[in-house]
Amino acid sequence: MSFREIHFNWLEEIIIPAIDWFYNESQDRDLIQHDASERTIVANIYCKANTSFRQKQSQNSELDNLGIDLEYNRNFIDSKKAYEKCSLCHKEGCFIMQEGFHTEKIYPDFLIHQRGSNLNNQVAIEFKKAGNQDKEERNADKTKLIYLTCQQPFPQNEDKNYKYHFGFFIDLDLDRYSVTTYQDATYDIPRNRRGGKWE
């Protein structure tokens, strides 16, 4: 499977502006301060990201056929599942294999992709409110991003090979947020952002 390389900075051009916009609107920021559900907060950020994305899309033909979806769980006509191909993998030191995760249906919070194809999977995002310190939930989301960004080839199982180019784990706090970037099943240290600036 050959991945479609798009020269576009998803984090800086779509995701960060949408989250900054959310934090700059007092009625939106109130959602975090009043402990609204994660779904409500993410849906609000989605609306802002989608507005920005549509504007960029009208100016950049590379973005044609792509869209942003919330909790999208389809893989062609089947459910999107994680860890299916892991039993075929012999990558040394793989966190998923070490932890013994089993195949399960997944619902990523936020995807930028082309529906009906795994050749154009760009970004997978998981959000968590900083107040939610449930270690099991957090590990499940992070592991999902490791799986979705894994670039290991499986020629006989390409329909299960998502190969998202980037994953982001975004921790939303009262007045700031942090972003951890995932790429090819590895991740960097979280970066914090407050008041529209990286700390």
Can you tell me which residue has the tokens 């006989």?
Answer: 156
The pLDDT of 143-161, averaged and rounded, is 80
Domain count, the chain: 1
Statement: residue 174 has pLDDT above 70? yes
Statement: residue 96 has pLDDT above 90? no
Distinct helix (H) and strand (E) counts, the chain: 6, 12
Which residue range forms the structural domain that includes residue 98?
10-198
Other beta carbons within 10 Å of 36: 14
Cα torsion 100, 105, 107, 113: sign: positive
Q: In whole angstroms, what is the distance from residue 136 CA to residue 156 CA?
A: 32
The pLDDT of 149-169, averaged and rounded, is 82
Question: For position 119, what pLDDT does the model report?
Answer: 84
Question: For position 77, what pLDDT does the model report?
Answer: 62
The pLDDT of 109-136, averaged and rounded, is 92
Enclosing H/E stretch for 112: strand 110-113
In a domain, 121, yes or no: yes
> Who has greater pLDDT, 140 or 100?
140
In a domain, 5, yes or no: no
In a domain, 3, yes or no: no
CA 24 to chain CA centroid, Å, is: 22
Question: For position 41, what pLDDT does the model report?
Answer: 97
Query: pLDDT tens digits, residue range 12-65?
Result: 999 999 999 999 999 999 999 999 999 999 999 999 999 999 999 999 998 999
In a domain, 2, yes or no: no
The Cα-based distances of 68 to 58, 80, 148 in angstroms read 15, 16, 16
Q: Which of 21-30, 106-115, 159-168 has the highest mean pLDDT?
A: 21-30
- Contact 38/127 with Cβ under 8 angstroms? yes
In a domain, 4, yes or no: no
In a domain, 101, yes or no: yes
The Cα-based distances of 191 to 16, 32, 65, 117, 155 in angstroms read 12, 20, 31, 31, 35
